[in-house]
């Protein structure tokens, strides 16, 4: 079988677009990832208390989510629950991570493509053109990216691979002064993001959502807490065409979704459609409400033609930045954040198995561990957002690529279109190659 | 003429690159260089001639050796960015894969250590590279300016039986050296320059900056140190300490020149 390969650019990590031909027709287009590191193997035989800081190294963008999912899985094994203070501090750390990750993706990776997809440019903006396009926007975006990192530094102890999340809680409480700094940062994020959202609304006004990004009968997966947006606690939900297919606790995840041994990616255990989508668009769909009234004026634009369109994910990323910033400000009102932290003692193994789930910036992240009496890890399973999205990515790539190739016979354009589709999913290849 | 820069990733988590986005100087840095290759932000996939190449990640796949040689051929200076590129990094804990430092295959002109590289060191180093200067690293250990350093003490009488504190402490409570409190801290054998981030967050040093001498072997350095302290039986058998960021490298194949 003839194949052709193109390297993915403007994504995190190293991935390829592989196009398979049968006779003169495209039979499949796959998003392929190389250099799997084998973190399941890396983690084996390590001490439970040591695991969260090792798993952080799975990803230099989703470090906080990885570390915290890991802490939660181990806390499940010990049957301990961190104090409310620790949970709030973890959420603040995840808020910093989300602001950094979403703004980085939006500006450098997604925005340049929108000129091709919505404005009939021949090429995406180059890095140089992007920086000069709207100096105020560039300034604000650089500030957002940097501020996300500053929040990670305050609550995680450094800019990447946070030190503070440990099994049972957090290793360090922030000072009163840094709480004040964090508040100022979040206020600035809100101000800047509102400006960017308004600019973006102008940008997409009078444009038509491109057909090739439409998702039909898509099944969405994400955490919701009593129907509301929540990245830390609640239940998982599967939803399709506005109907809830299942609500289930984190510990029951493998009754509903799991890795397929023979195929790349993760699938739902459902009759019929089994491909899933996680991430901002899935979160928007699984919840009933974002639960922050300040967001209401920005929701109208997500009208019918955009609702099924994957491209709206870019807008939702901006909305999520705004949302978590409001959430963060609310958490910062808690005067107990700076108190000495109570850590739950990790004494004996209560369950051999533990499951930890969070919503990482790119979607649902599941850590499933099994430990022995020596408190050492014996079995590991990690289900990460990008892996969950891969079957949906490949399906969309193939459908659109086939159609486009039939119409144009232009392979370079097929490749370029595939690049833009992949970027809209915001894949995290480091996570996927754990 | 702006200096030409390349930024490439091998087997990595992208965390070193991610830390670039925490720098105050990022915008100025991008304005002052000609970035010829950086797939994270740019569409170019061809390696062109460069003044400086920054490479993060270790070599774990055969195919990466060619890329690395291509980068070397086209670059006046190659800088190993972060602990994976310099020592092999976290993949060294694997029993299935070998994680090689990039210097196993090509000559390097400098390195910026850390997992991730500390932001101040990274920022200062990027500016120095931009001005065609070499990177400056501290040649002292973490203890020298450790906020928990009391009076110098070389005999650690207490047995070391913990990897981290059993309960968290406030900044005021934190006055005593971890090693004196029976908690393993690799500060004595680790290069200074990380702004004591772990110590200030109430956690001991895990050694990510690597040994002080550029020629020291990471793992033997740790083993030497551990042989001097009273490590509990349980920890003496724990690979997680020895191979956290490096593993003694055994070359199976000799490539003929």
CB-closest option in B17, B61, B197 to A163: B197
Interface test with A, best of B35, B168, B204 (most A CBs within 10 A): B168
Q: List, in sequence order, every beta strand (DSSP E) within A171-287.
A: 219-225, 228-229, 235-240, 243-248, 257-259, 266-268, 276-277
From B16, B173, B202, residue closest to A60, measured CB to CB:
B16
List pLDDT tens digits, range A119-170.
999 999 999 999 999 999 999 999 999 999 999 999 999 999 999 999 999 9
Quote the CA–CA distance of A46 and A369 in Å, as a whole number. Answer: 12
Give how many domains chain B has, as a whole number. 2
- Does A157 contact chain B (CB < 8 Å)? yes
| pLDDT of A376 | 95
Q: Are residues B126 and B190 in the same domain?
A: no
Same-domain status, B178 and B116:
no
Q: How confident is the model at residue B256 (pLDDT cuts 50, 70, 90)?
A: very low
Q: What is the CATH number of the domain that holds B123?
A: 3.40.50.700
| Contact yes or no for B238 and A47 at CB 8 A | yes
Q: Which of A221-225, B7-11, B173-177, B253-257 has the lowest mean pLDDT?
A: B253-257
Report angle CA A362, B63, B99 to the nearest 5 degrees: 70
Last residue in a domain, options B130, B156, B191:
B130
What is the pLDDT at residue B220?
86
B26 touches chain A (CB under 8 A): yes
Contact (Cβ atoms closer than 8 angstroms) between residue A346 and residue A49: yes
Q: Are B115 and B166 members of one domain? A: no
Q: Which residues from B are below 8 Å from A63, CB to CB?
A: 13, 15
Question: Which of A94-108, A298-312, B69-83 is predicted least confidently?
Answer: A298-312
pLDDT band at B257 (very low <50, low <70, confident <90, very high): very low
Domain edge (last residue) among B130, B158, B191: B130
Q: Assess if residue B84 is contained within a domain.
A: yes
Q: Are B41 and B66 within one domain?
A: yes
pLDDT at B223: 87
**pLDDT value for A88:** 98
Model confidence at A302, pLDDT cuts 50, 70, 90, reads confident
Rounded CA-CA distance B247/B101 in Å is: 10
Sheet holding A377-383, edge to edge: A353-360, A363-371, A377-383
Q: What is the mean pLDDT of residues A295-307?
A: 87
Question: A10–B15: do the CB atoms touch at under 8 Å?
Answer: no
Strands (E), A260-308: 266-268, 276-277
Angle, helices A411-424 vs A385-408, to 10°: value is 150
Domain that holds residue B168: 138-249
Same domain, B123 and B174: no
List the single range of A127-131, A428-432, B193-197, B253-257 with lowest mean pLDDT: B253-257
Instruction: Name the nearest CA neighbour of A312 among A214, A233, A430.
Output: A214
| pLDDT recorded at residue B250 | 58
Are residues B85 and B28 located together in one domain of the fold?
yes
Indicate if the pLDDT at residue A68 is higher than 50.
yes
Give the three-state DSSP class for A360.
strand
Which residues 162-191 of A are in CB contact (within 8 Å) with B?
163-164, 166, 169-173, 175
What are phi and psi for residue A27, nearest 5 degrees? -95, -35
Same domain, B65 and B155: no
Predicted local distance difference test score (pLDDT) of residue B152? 56
User: Do residue B93 and residue A145 have CB atoms under 8 angstroms apart?
Assistant: no
pLDDT of residue B104 exceeding 50: yes
Asked if B40 and B95 sit in the same domain, the reply is yes
Put simply, the chain A residues between 310 and 349 with a CB less than 8 A from any chain B CB are 340-341, 343, 345
A19 forms beta bridges with: A4, A29
Mean pLDDT, rounded, for A396-406: 94
Q: Percent of chain B scored above 90 by pLDDT?
A: 72
- Residue A60 near residue A160 (C-beta atoms within 8 A): yes
Tell me which chain B residues have a C-beta less than 8 angstroms from the C-beta of A104: 21
Interface contact B12, partner A, CB < 8 A: yes
| pLDDT at residue B254 in the model | 45
What pLDDT score does A1 carry? 73
A293 CB near a chain B CB, below 8 Å? Answer: no
Q: What is the pLDDT of residue B242?
A: 84
Say if residue B10 is in the same domain as residue B124.
yes
Q: Considering chain A, what is the average pLDDT of its residues?
A: 95
Per-residue pLDDT reduced to its tens digit, A313-368: 999 999 999 999 999 999 999 999 999 998 887 878 999 999 999 999 999 999 99
Residue B254 lies in a domain: no
Is B256 within a domain? no
Ranked by mean pLDDT, which of A363-372, A422-431, B167-176 comes out on top?
A363-372
Distance from CA of A42 to the nearest CA of B (A): 4
Strands A15-22 and A25-33: antiparallel
* B77 contacts B46 by C-beta, under 8 angstroms: no
Q: Do B116 and A61 touch (CB under 8 A)?
A: no
Q: What is the mean pLDDT of residues A58-85?
A: 97
- Establish if B255 belongs to a structural domain: no
Q: Chain B contacts of A42, Cβ < 8 Å?
A: 90-91, 93-94
**pLDDT bucket at B154, cuts 50 / 70 / 90:** low
A391 and A265 Cβ atoms separated by less than 8 Å: yes
Is B13's CB within 8 Å of A142's CB?
A: no
B197 and B108 housed in the same domain: no
What part of B 37-76 touches A (C-beta under 8 Å)?
39-45, 60-61, 63-64
Q: Which residues of B touch A46 (CB under 8 A)?
A: 93, 239-240
Q: Please report, in angstroms and rounded to a whole number, the separation of the first and last CA atoms in chain B.
A: 36
Residue B157, domain member (yes or no): yes
User: In Å, what is the CA distance from B159 to each residue of A375, B150, B228, B231, B243?
Assistant: 21, 19, 11, 6, 21
Instruction: Compute the CA torsion angle B63, B65, B67, B72 (nearest 10 deg).
Output: 180
pLDDT at B251 over 60: no
pLDDT of residue B237: 86
Q: Does the pLDDT of residue B213 top 60, yes or no?
A: yes
Residue B237 domain flag: yes
Instruction: With respect to residue B88, please indicate whether it lies within any of the assigned structural domains.
Output: yes
Beta-bridged to residue B5, according to DSSP, are B35, B52
Q: Which residues of A touch B16 (CB under 8 A)?
A: 60, 160
Residues of B in Cβ contact (< 8 Å) with A341: 168
What integer pLDDT is reported at residue B168 of this predicted model? 76
Check CB contact of A121 with chain B, cutoff 8 Å.
Answer: no
Same domain, B10 and B126: yes
To the nearest whole Å, the CA of B143 is away from the closest chain A CA by 19
Looking at residue B253, its pLDDT comes to: 47
- Specify whether B124 is located in the same domain as B146: no
CA distance A300 to B68: 50
The string over A323-358, giving b where at least 16 C-beta atoms fall within 10 Å of a residue's C-beta and e elsewhere, is: bbbbbbbebbeeeebbeebebbebeebeeeebbbbb
Q: Across residues A91-109, what is the average pLDDT?
A: 98
Q: Does A51 touch chain B (CB under 8 A)?
A: no
Q: Is B206 on the interface with A (CB under 8 A)?
A: yes
Query: What rounded mean pLDDT belongs to chain B?
Result: 91
Residue A261 pLDDT? 75
Distance from CA of B104 to the nearest CA of A (A): 18
Report CB contact under 8 Å: B35, A171. no
Looking at the complex, does the CB of residue A57 fall below 8 Å from at least one CB of chain B? Answer: yes
CB contact set of A415 (below 8 Å; sequence gap of 6+): A6, A17, A19
Last residue of a domain, one of B130, B162, B182: B130
| Confidence check: pLDDT of B255 > 50 | no
The pLDDT value recorded for residue B153 is: 61
Cross-chain residue pair B115–A340, CB shorter than 8 Å: no
For every residue of chain B, which 3-state class applies, written as one string?
Answer: CCCEEEEEECECCCHHHHHHCCCCCHHHHHHHCEEEECCCCCCCCCCCCEEEEEEECEECCHHHHHHHHHHHHHEEEEEEECHHHHHCHHHHHCCCCCCECHHHCCCCCEEECCCCCCHHHHHHHHHHHHCCCCCCCCCCEHHHHCCCCCCCCCCCCCCECECCCCCCCCCCCCCCCCHHHCECCCHHHCECCCCCHHHHCCCCCCCCCCCCCCCCCHHHHHHHHHHHCCECHHHHCCHHHHCCCCCCCCCCCCCCC
Tell me the shortest Cα–Cα distance from B81 to chain A, in angstroms.
14
Q: Pairing state of beta strands A363-371 and A377-383?
A: antiparallel
Q: Looking at the predicted structure, is the pLDDT value of residue B53 above 60?
A: yes
């Amino acid at each position: 079988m003839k194949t052709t390969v193109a390297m993915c650019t403007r994504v995190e990590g190293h991935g390829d677009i592989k196009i398979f031909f049968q006779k003169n027709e495209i039979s499949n287009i796959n998003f392929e990832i190389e250099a799997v590191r084998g973190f399941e193997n890396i983690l084996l035989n390590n001490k439970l208390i040591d695991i969260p800081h090792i798993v952080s190294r799975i990803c230099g963008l989703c470090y906080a989510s990885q570390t915290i999912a890991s802490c939660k899985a181990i806390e499940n094994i010990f049957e301990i629950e961190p104090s409310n203070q620790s949970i709030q501090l973890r959420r603040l750390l995840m808020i910093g991570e989300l602001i950094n990750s979403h703004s980085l993706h939006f500006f450098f990776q997604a925005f340049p493509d929108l000129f091709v997809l919505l404005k009939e440019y021949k090429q995406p903006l180059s890095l140089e053109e992007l920086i000069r396009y709207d100096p105020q926007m560039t300034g604000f975006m650089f500030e957002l990216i940097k501020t996300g990192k500053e929040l990670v530094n305050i609550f995680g102890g450094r800019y990447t691979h946070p030190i503070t999340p440990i099994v049972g809680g957090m290793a360090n409480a922030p000072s009163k002064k840094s709480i004040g700094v964090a508040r100022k940062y979040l206020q600035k994020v809100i101000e800047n993001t509102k400006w960017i959202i308004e600019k973006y609304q102008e940008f997409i006004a009078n444009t038509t959502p491109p057909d090739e990004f439409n998702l039909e009968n898509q099944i969405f997966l994400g955490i919701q807490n009593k129907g509301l947006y929540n990245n830390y606690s609640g239940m998982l939900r599967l939803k399709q065409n506005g109907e809830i297919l299942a609500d289930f606790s984190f510990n029951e995840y493998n009754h509903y979704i799991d890795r397929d041994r023979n195929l790349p990616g993760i699938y739902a255990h459902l009759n019929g459609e089994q491909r899933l989508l996680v991430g901002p668009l899935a979160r928007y769909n699984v919840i009933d409400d974002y639960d922050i009234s300040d967001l209401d004026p920005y929701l109208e634009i997500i009208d019918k033609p955009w609702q099924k369109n994957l491209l709206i994910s870019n807008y939702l990323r901006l909305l999520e930045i705004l949302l978590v910033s409001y959430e963060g400000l609310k958490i910062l009102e808690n005067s107990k954040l700076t108190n000495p932290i109570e850590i739950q003692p990790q004494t004996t193994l209560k369950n051999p198995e533990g499951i930890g789930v969070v919503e990482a910036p790119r979607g649902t992240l599941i850590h499933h561990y099994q430990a022995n009496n020596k408190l050492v890890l014996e079995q590991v399973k990690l289900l990460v957002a990008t892996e969950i999205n891969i079957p949906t990515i490949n399906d969309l790539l193939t459908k659109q690529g086939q159609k486009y190739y039939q119409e144009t016979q232009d392979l370079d354009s097929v490749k370029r279109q595939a690049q833009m589709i992949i970027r809209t999913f915001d894949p995290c290849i480091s996570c996927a190659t754990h | 003429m702006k200096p030409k820069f390349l930024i490439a990733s091998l087997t990595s988590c992208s965390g070193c690159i991610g830390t670039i986005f925490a720098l105050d100087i990022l915008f100025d840095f991008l304005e002052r260089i000609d970035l010829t290759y950086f797939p994270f932000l740019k569409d170019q996939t061809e390696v062109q001639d460069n003044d400086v190449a920054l490479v993060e990640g270790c070599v774990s796949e055969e195919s990466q050796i060619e890329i690395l040689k291509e980068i070397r051929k086209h670059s006046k200076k190659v800088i190993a960015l972060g602990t994976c590129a310099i020592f092999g990094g976290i993949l060294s804990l694997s029993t299935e894969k070998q994680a090689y430092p990039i210097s196993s295959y090509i000559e390097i002109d400098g390195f910026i250590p850390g997992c991730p590289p500390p932001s101040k060191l990274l920022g200062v180093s990027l500016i120095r590279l931009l001005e065609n200067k070499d990177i400056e690293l501290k040649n002292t250990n973490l203890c020298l300016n450790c906020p928990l350093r009391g009076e110098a003490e070389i005999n650690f009488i207490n047995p070391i039986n913990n990897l981290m504190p059993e309960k968290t402490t406030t900044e005021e409570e934190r006055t005593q050296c971890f090693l004196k409190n029976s908690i393993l801290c690799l500060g004595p054998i680790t290069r200074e320059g990380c702004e004591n981030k772990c110590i200030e967050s109430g956690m001991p040093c895990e050694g990510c900056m690597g040994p002080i001498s550029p020629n020291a072997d990471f793992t033997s350095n740790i083993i030497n140190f551990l042989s001097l302290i009273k490590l509990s039986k349980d920890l003496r058998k724990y690979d997680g300490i020895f191979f956290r960021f490096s593993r003694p490298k055994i070359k199976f194949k000799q490539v003929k020149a």
